[in-house]
Homo-oligomer: A and B are copies of this chain.
Amino acid sequence: MSTASLVFSGRGPVSDATAARVRAAAQELAYAGPNPLASSLRQGRTGTVGVVVEGRLGDAFGDPFALTVLDGLARELDAIPAALLLLPREPGDDSRLLAQLGAAAVDAVVFALCGPRDDPAVDLLAGRGIPMIAAGAPVDPRVPQLLVAERAASAEVARLLVGLGHTRIGHITLPLAPRVPTGPVAPAQVALASYPDGAARALGVLDVAPDARVVQTTIADVASGEQAARLLLGVPAHERPTAIIAQSDVLAAGVLRVAADLGLRVPEDLSVTGFDGLDLPWVDVRLTTVVQDGQARGRALGAMVAAALSGASVRTTHFPTHLRLGETTGPPPTR
């Protein structure tokens, strides 16, 4: 009885009478519509797109920027239509993710957030012919990217501060590799980092301010920003940085809190910059930051997925950002 299939999918030429008869029979047999699994197997489409998430969901999406990207992505996928399957990876342990990827039925996979430069998941998915889309990582010719000019944007921030006269600059990076502790990082280590986005932003700063003190965080949240800020600011006044460049607005929010706690005025005593351009209702100053539209970024990723699923060959694209001058940057204090 293929007619039933036509009735439920609603795409065949079926007379109203027959349709009614089919529906009545379905009712009778308590048939709740086609089995999605069988339908997917037959059609080769699942209506599901995987999203790889580094670390715990609470950590990853505790950063409002990441959440906004996810939101935009979901919104765009909804139009395909496709639902989002969350595929968390324990940082530094790929085994669970690979098992999930081997067992999960997805039409495509998105690496929407920061992740390792080299990812064994790529081989697995490429082997299955599942299209992938990434935002910075993993780096692989088989994975088209939506790229941000991280290094250039970050360098622009550093240039702003150097131009204002700052010479002692602190930099707070996102994690450069899985499972790192919060703490200082030697500039030489930066180039070897496994996470490209943090590395690129740090390199941008070092391009312009090679003597910047770099402190790495474990995750992007306010508490980590505070911790890193205390490491940078908890030194004698004459070696204390007069400006801190944070790789994320939530990290910068932590810096602002520590500054207030230490009695440092922003920007008179300390300049602070962020990255992302978040609108945090609980931060009262307007942060100097690199604005990127997270929602639009997610949507752009979703559009790339849609294109890949429709069979188009998707190419690496660039996504715009711009520096926004806020109230948290100014010339260094005259001693």
Tell me the A residues contacting B by CB distance below 8 Å: 30, 32-41, 46-48, 56-58, 61-62, 64, 67-68, 70-71, 74-75, 78, 81, 83-88, 96, 99-100, 102-105, 124, 127-128, 221-223, 226, 253-254, 257, 281-283, 295
Contacts and interface: CB of A to CB of B under 8 A. Distances in A.
Copies of this protein chain in the complex? 2
Nearest to A84: B86
Nearest to A294: B58
B62 A64 contact: yes
A86 B88 contact: no
B46 A105 contact: yes
Given A37-B105, A62-B67, A281-B222, A83 B87 contact: yes
Contact of A96 (B78, B86, B254, B281): B78
Contacts of A68: 58
Contacts of A85: 48, 83-86
Contacts of A57: 67, 70-71, 74
Contacts of A104: 36, 47-48, 83
A261 to B, nearest CB: 10
A232 to B, nearest CB: 18
Contact of A41 (B37, B86, B96, B226): B37
